[in-house]
Structure 1
Amino acid sequence: MIRPFLQWPDKRLRTPCAPVETVDDAVRATWEDMLDSMYAMPGVGLAACQIGVMLRLAVVDCSEARTSPIRMANPVVLHASVKPRSHVEASPNLPGIHAEVERPRAVTVGYMDETGAQVERDFVHLEATSVQHQIDHLDGLVYLDRLKPARRQMLLSKYMKARARAGRR
Structure 2
Amino acid sequence: MAIREILEVPNPLLKRVSDPVETFDDELKQLVEDMFETMYDAPGIGLAAIQVGVPLRVLVIDLQPDDPDAEAEVCNHGGHEHTHQPTKKEPRIFINPEILDPSEEVKAYQEGCLSVPEIFAEVDRPATCRVRWQDLEGTTHEEDMDGLMAVCIQHEMDHLNGIVFIDHLSRLKRNMAMKKLQKMRAAA
TM-score normalized by structure 2? 0.84
Q: Offset at 1:56?
A: 0.6
**Aligned alpha-carbon RMSD (Å):** 1.3
1:52 corresponds in structure 2 to: 53
Higher helix share: 1
**Mapped partners of 1:70, 1:23: distance in 2:** 16
Q: Offset at 1:54?
A: 1.1
1:95 corresponds in structure 2 to: 117
**Mapped partners of 2:41, 2:23: distance in 1:** 27
Percent of matched pairs sharing the same residue: 39
2:5 corresponds in structure 1 to: 4
**Mapped partners of 2:116, 2:51: distance in 1:** 10
Amino acid in structure 2 at the alignment position of 1:156? M
Higher strand share: 2
Structure 2: gaps (5+ residues): 66-86
**Mapped partners of 2:31, 2:143: distance in 1:** 22
Q: Offset at 1:32?
A: 0.9
**Mapped partners of 1:153, 1:76: distance in 2:** 30
Moved over 2 A (4+): none
Q: Offset at 1:53?
A: 1.0
**Mapped partners of 2:184, 2:26: distance in 1:** 39
What CA deviation, in whole Å up to 9, does each residue of 1:83-124 have, x standing for no partner? 122211111211121111111111111111122111111111
1:165 corresponds in structure 2 to: 187
Structure 1: gaps (5+ residues): none
Higher-Rg member (1/2):
2
- Residue 135 of structure 1, aligned match among 157, 160, 163: 157
1:126 corresponds in structure 2 to: 148
**Mapped partners of 1:148, 1:2: distance in 2:** 33
Does structure 1 residue 20 correspond to structure 2 residue 21?
yes
**Mapped partners of 2:88, 2:60: distance in 1:** 12
SS at structure 1 position matched to 2:184: helix
Amino acid in structure 2 at the alignment position of 1:80? P
**Mapped partners of 1:60, 1:123: distance in 2:** 13
**Mapped partners of 2:25, 2:90: distance in 1:** 21
